[in-house]
Chains A and B, each alone.
Chain A
Amino acid sequence: MLELRKDIFADERDDNLNEVGKGTQRQDMLGHVTGTSTYFNDHKLQGMLHVRVVRSTQSHARLRRIDTSEAERSEGVRRVIRGADVPRNLNTLLSLINFGKDDEPTLAVDKVRYRGEPIVAVVAETLRAAAEAAAKVRVDYESLPSVFDVEEALKPGAPTVNETYPKNTFTYHERYDHQKLRFGDVERGFAGADHVLEQRYQMSPIEHAPVETNGSIAAPDTNGRYVVYTSTQALFFSLDTCAKILDLPSNTFHFIGGTVGGGFGGKVDTLTEPLAILAAMLTGRPVRYVLGREEEMQFGPPRGAERIYIKDGVMRDGRIVARQIRGYFDSGAYTRLSSYAVVKCAAHLPGPYTIPNVHGDIYCVFTNRTPATAMRGFGITGMDFALECQMDKLAHLIGMDPMEFRILNAYRDGDMKAHRREAKNTALIECVQVAAEKAKWPIREEFRRMSSRKDGGGARAAVPSTPREPAQPRSAPAQQRTSYDRGLSMPPQPDPPPQAPAPSPGHGATRFSSVFGTRRR
């Protein structure tokens, strides 16, 4: 089933190793196959309470009133948590690496932006008691128009999904509504091409579908600390996110995880830890917050949808001379991590091929759906689907074998990539050759002889002349700085102007934008 082709690139390896390269049994195999590996949900703590979240029934609505009085009187309820109870309700995940603005509340306060958005958390003795109380929370909505299509969301007059980004796009470099990639002159390339092919591709959202749903258990520990058992894929990322949202020093928390029942990118968002810890702080009891399967499927973040337009210019001999790509990532109502996937996607263009003229515009778009997040191949999988379907169409168009067409256009060592770095350590040609051999797919001798290590560089190493577009000045406010930036040297700052005292946070009355949304450097 798996064959190691040690003969290929053998001169680049020293295979004289003791442990590396061996198919040693996994360290955790015995635990896994005997059912004794410990997952977060195996920690059953004495006096443990359970969280159930009340979720929006509307895709986009103003919250007129949230009435929790009946829920608070419900049997077994120990606490009802609202947005105003969350110390720093507004956050964006990548603020930890200084990317983007706080745009998402832990619990909605003035508005909901997708169906399923958390509004209130009920903490009760049993999951059933929590669910019954949650059903008694009355939310008075004022419906707002929704937008679900990425291109509709960009049109003038489209409803604003998220006021942090009023035009429904993430802001790049404090001035653009998309990430650009410019390499050479695609218009000149198209003009000289024998064929031009423009196509549209679409990927719907999908679920990570882990066996273990997202969840965590938080418990008060000695000396004012909290222990947190979690399914996170990123221990310190989740810990530091909680420290920010709960406005506590990071060493307040002792996070324990590491054995996860499937992640695939769906356990980076720190969906449950802040509320589990907050509930433990407010009740003094251990608290468990685990998503049910329906919550995981519909309101846990999916791999977001992407819409991609590709326009290629190709010559009759098979050379691709220009590739223009416009891509829209559907981020849902909040940024989470899609802003980053856009940059990763731009760097990936035009795929593993050397094309002299490349032009990319990739957008992170907000719509009224469940926020998207990372998933295996983040920023790349949808684009690879589009690129490789397009490659098949181009090969068909000019009557060339698709394997040979890939080999002809493949990048090689020494070539200049569109993000302006030299290609090194490439191996696409060899992969195509070996896959063809395995599948008994005949390719011509000249293509069997080609190599990633030959005939690259030279003229292919040059950065082509690229027309300059008028640059826009920076307009948006400077991006915030947060925990991971504190060690960086920063210019001295003037004292902040005196601010009016924040209004006392009545339930549902806190406007996030006036409190947390406008931090400056």
Chain B
Amino acid sequence: MARHRGRGMAAINYPIGMNLGGDPSQALVHSNPSGKFTVALSSIDLGQGMKSVTRQICAETLGVPVEDVYVDTADSDTGPHCMGSFASRGTHRVGNAVMAAAKEARGVMMEAAAEELEVNASDLETDGRGNIHVKGAPHRSISVKDVAIAAQFRQGKTISGRGIFLVPLSDVDPETGEMSPATCYAHACLVAEVEVDDETGEVGVIRMDSAYELGRALNPRLVEQQLVGGAWMGMSHALYETTEPYYPDPKQGPRDFVEYLMPGPGDICPHDIAVLERPAPDGPFGGKGPGEMCANPVLPAIANAIFNAVGVRIDELPITPEKVLRAIKAQGGARPQTRR
């Protein structure tokens, strides 16, 4: 009786957004008279960071500091329409809508600044710190705050913008399945190392190494949060979770977190991640979205690592100790494969 180590890998891609019914989201951006901006959305922040990433996109597009932008979301009386937070669509679809709204608002802001400085708007640029100045002449400058006051009280301009991003409905050919399901794809490859106990059938995940390509990482810390959490979810899906342990027999369903197994803190393993950024041509600053796909490569990588460790293929999820042990017994013991 022994514990056997093995390594397995998997590679995947993932479509960004949904392909049926059309996929729109809207955003509104406006400034108050102090030059502070509000983004109004109806999109949902599930904890993934929707508010934060759209805030950065808005600040970058306006050319103002991120602290001067606040994202207000999910009030149907004030936020314009959004399909919802699913299908890895938030960063790409909502981000693009916010970018379009911020561009329009920036246009008004620059016109108002031009009027105050008595120059052409095309000769102006933002410094990203809350000021607008003449290109090549930083001393001919006005603060965004002063522009906002002037626009509101002297010029009668609204520094505001509307944005929508729509991926139109794609027809699906009934005979061939020809369709345009997505406009861009994220990619990943993950290596999992496991240890399999041939006496109990238990599988422990020792470490993971991965590379994810997500378009531009608009906020690397939010990306890290998604990838680390998503890999944990994938590991849980691979080895622990099910509401029907003997599917398709519906009996024995768990009712709470005592009966529904998930890995605890002691089961989490080190995970080294590399992020590659191949910008999506139609993404906001090239962003795609790490939302859903980060869990996907973990499942097959673990299954393949188990084969490498003990020579059994478990093709039914979750890969419980019972299934591993039965398979090891059926082949007359562990058969470790070539170490990788």
Contact digits for A163-179, partner B, Cβ 8 Å, 1 yes 0 no: 00000000011011001
Q: Do A236 and B76 touch across chains, with their CB atoms under 8 A apart?
A: yes
Whether A500 is near chain B, meaning CB under 8 Å from some CB there, is: no
A181 contacts across to B, CB distance below 8 A: 176-177
Within 8 A of A (CB), among B103-155: 128
Chain B, 157-212, CB within 8 A of any chain A CB:
172, 174-182, 184-185, 187-191, 209-212
* A28 at the binding interface (Cβ < 8 Å): yes
Query: A426, B185: Cβ atoms under 8 Å?
Result: yes
Contact present for A389 and B244 (CB under 8 Å): no
A99 CB–B CB distance under 8 Å = yes
Question: Are B84 and A256 in touch, CB under 8 angstroms?
Answer: no
Q: Which of B9, B59, B295 contacts A402 (CB 8 A)?
A: B9
Please tell me if B37 contacts chain A, counting CB pairs below 8 Å: no
Q: How far is the CB of A264 from chain B (nearest CB, A)?
A: 8
Cβ of A24: which chain B residues have Cβ within 8 Å of it?
A: 52, 55-56, 66, 219, 221
**Contact partner of A13 among B76, B189, B260, B277, CB < 8 A?**
B277
With known contacts A181-B176, A427-B278, A209–B211 Cβ distance under 8 A? no
A393 to B303, CA, bound (A): 11
Q: Given A2-B273, A205-B247, A428-B13: A97 and B84 within 8 A (CB)?
A: no
How many residues belonging to A are interface residues under a CB distance threshold of 8 Å?
Answer: 137
Q: Are A403 and B247 in contact (CB under 8 A)?
A: no
Closest CB of chain B to A431's CB: distance in Å?
Answer: 4
A305 within 8 Å of B (CB atoms): yes
A272 sits at the interface (CB 8 A): no
Q: Mark A196-207, 1 if CB is under 8 A from B, else 0.
A: 000111111111
B100 within 8 A of A: no
Q: Once bound together, how far apart are the Cα atoms of A378 and B227, in whole Å?
A: 17
Binary contact track B29-54/A, C-beta < 8 Å → 1, others 0: 00000000000001111110101100
Residues of A within 8 A of B59 (CB): 18-19
Task: Give residues of chain A (2-22) contacting chain B, Cβ–Cβ below 8 Å.
Answer: 2-6, 8-9, 12-13, 17-22
* Residue pair A347, B175 in contact (C-beta under 8 Å): no
Once the chains bind, are B274 and A434 in contact (CB under 8 Å)? yes
Which A residues touch B71, using CB under 8 A?
27
Residue of B66, B73, B211, B291 touching A431 (CB-CB under 8 A): B211
- Having A234-B44, A297-B254, A378-B87, one finds 9 other A-B pairs with CB under 8 Å, namely A3-B274, A204-B243, A205-B247, A235-B44, A257-B44, A258-B73, A344-B19, A419-B178, A432-B189
What is A's interface to B at a CB cutoff of 8 Å? Answer: 1-6, 8-9, 12-13, 17-28, 59, 94, 96-99, 115, 148-150, 172-173, 175-176, 179-183, 199-207, 209, 232-237, 239, 253-265, 268, 293-294, 297-298, 302, 305, 330, 340, 343-344, 346-348, 351-352, 360, 367, 369-370, 374, 376-378, 380-382, 384-389, 391-393, 396, 402-403, 406, 410-411, 418-421, 424-428, 430-436, 438-439, 441, 466, 468-469, 471, 484
**3 nearest A-B residue pairs (beta carbon):** A234-B84, A258-B74, A97-B21
